[in-house]
A and B are shown apart, each in its own frame.
Chain A
């Protein structure tokens, strides 16, 4: 997990963990080498339009004949009910918060992501471990510990980070569904005022994401632009990546159009 400062363009960094392999120590009973599928992660805070973009990407990829599997944060069959109850009951602390997320991720990794990779699907991941790391980082959880914890995560082939500034974000959130307790970091007891809390929490979160951009080779996109402009950019980069990986894979296991 070292940062790269080579001469490669920001779009195609070359160093760091090999995409499609474990970040840290592998899960001993689950070897994943040579699986034909790809993981494309879309990261960003709440309200940056991740799900809209993923929805559009899926359409586009499927029209071209790619098999697509979607996976999203806290959506595991095993953990979703528990996480919902826990969030509602307000008894979570930063450690259990982190561990519940990690369990959810492990369940999805083993049940959804790895089987999909094996079968040659493109996995579109709505958020990835970086969300967990950012939230934990803001709450003061030890960075080395959380990185070791997520050592079993697989490095995605592409990570897009939809970046936004906190002022634009606030307006978007208020226009849509409003601020909620956890998104406002109210558990951190920054203050009683939800607006102030939201602002300072999201600001710290954005800082955490930025600090990870180099380390995890985020491809940063400006999320303040129009939906179609962002989508075009995503398609251009993903298209280039897929075209390249198909020419380099002589075995041609990836599904073509």
Chain B
């Protein structure tokens, strides 16, 4: 699942995981930039603000490759459902917003498994900013795109950066056929739409399993 910071996607993903587990599915959640492999480098780079758009992009790709091989492919082989809180599309959107060449990033991630379903939680910048500020979340340097030097004001920089990211996501919706959920609605409302989208894919999977059992 995809969406900018403050789109509420982590909340939605948590609720979806509960529902799937309750229905008897084995679910694994994997989060963007969570592998131990690149933690030290990402931390140093972020602390010292020395990451460039290219090294930022490559570190995230390394993280992704590590998780793909250890946390994504094995559960898929075991027939489990992998819920990815952000996927390669996040890289496509953010890296392009930072001025990395679109084609290069797409080729970089060509080793990624194409998801069975990609859902994009679309939200206007004002809504996401309000949500983040309401939770008193301090916008971080890179999350706010401060590395780009567009504005010395964090909130302003965040707006500019996320605006560019949103434009990239719109492009991705077309290019990769992402399913769009309007993320301005109530949590329950969004979750209903989300579950509906997911259940369409599960039915197909279940049918296959039954056929396998018969065979």
Contact = CB atoms under 8 A, between A and B. Distances in A.
A107 interface: yes
A145 B107 contact: yes
B50 interface: yes
Contacts of B41: 78-79, 81-82, 103
Decide if the interface of chain B is mainly helix, strand, loop or mixed. Answer: helix
Interface string A94-108: 011001101100110
Interface string B50-71: 1111110011011001101110
A140 interface: no
Nearest to A76: B55
B103 interface: yes
B38 interface: yes
A149 interface: yes
B37 interface: yes
B176 interface: no
B104 A103 contact: no
Contacts of B53: 29
A77 interface: yes
Contact of B44 (A78, A85, A95): A78
B50 A77 contact: yes
Nearest to A84: B40
Nearest to B106: A148
A145 B111 contact: yes
A95 B55 contact: no
Interface residues of B, number: 30
A152 B62 contact: no
Contact of A28 (B40, B68, B100): B100
A243 interface: no
B185 interface: no
B99 interface: yes
Interface in A190-248: none
Contact of A145 (B51, B58, B70, B110): B110
Interface string A131-167: 0000000000000010011011000000000000000
A27 interface: yes
A41 B174 CA distance: 43
Contact of B101 (A28, A79, A103): A28
B54 A152 contact: yes
Nearest to B111: A95
Interface string A19-39: 000001111110000000000
A29 B44 contact: no
A36 B182 CA distance: 52
A93 interface: yes
Contacts of A57: none
A250 interface: no
B55 A151 contact: no
Given A99-B62, A110-B52, 11 more contacts: A82-B37, A91-B70, A95-B65, A96-B62, A100-B62, A102-B58, A103-B58, A106-B54, A107-B52, A111-B50, A111-B52
User: Which 3 residue pairs spanning A and B have beta carbons closest together?
Assistant: A99-B62, A103-B58, A82-B41
